[in-house]
Amino acid sequence: MKLTIKPERGFGKIEVELDESLWRRIKELAERYGVSPERVIEIALAGEFKEPEGELEELEKEVEELERKVWKLEVEYAPLRYKAYGLSEDNKVLAIELSGLLAENNQLRHFLGLPLNRKAELRKLISYYLQG
């Protein structure tokens, strides 16, 4: 495969012939690290390799320890989230029932010739619980 490297400004492009196995390896690296193949080649040519700071095994152990802590917290808070979801759904059901009772109350008031109750604050509260 023929690779052409052009500078961002000015003249002077470089053309290089790459064999198929090298190109496959470049594409694998690009996919693994989520960058373009061109960027992999730029890093290789410029020597911008980053060496890990500290011991790699030590860092991996720290990551594993943090993952264990995260899962421990997840186990702790999962039941609370489930209960909160249940309460939220209960509030929605109660808001629907309350809305129906308000409508029924207004129908009865209309039938009896009494003035209707608008209760704007209660309507806002019902819409709040129905949305969330």
Q: Which of 18-32, 41-55, 101-115 has the lowest mean pLDDT?
A: 41-55
Residue 53 three-state SS: coil
Rounded to whole angstroms, what are the CA distances from 25 to 18, 63, 90, 94? 11, 28, 56, 61
Residue 108, C-beta contacts closer than 8 angstroms, at least 6 positions apart? none
pLDDT of residue 112: 93
**Taking 80 as the threshold, does the pLDDT of residue 65 lie above it?**
yes
- Among 62, 119, 131, 60, smallest CA distance to 95 is for 131
Average pLDDT over residues 44-63: 76
Contact 3, 39 (CB under 8 A): no
pLDDT of residue 118: 85
Contact 13, 7 (CB under 8 A): yes
pTM over 0.85: no
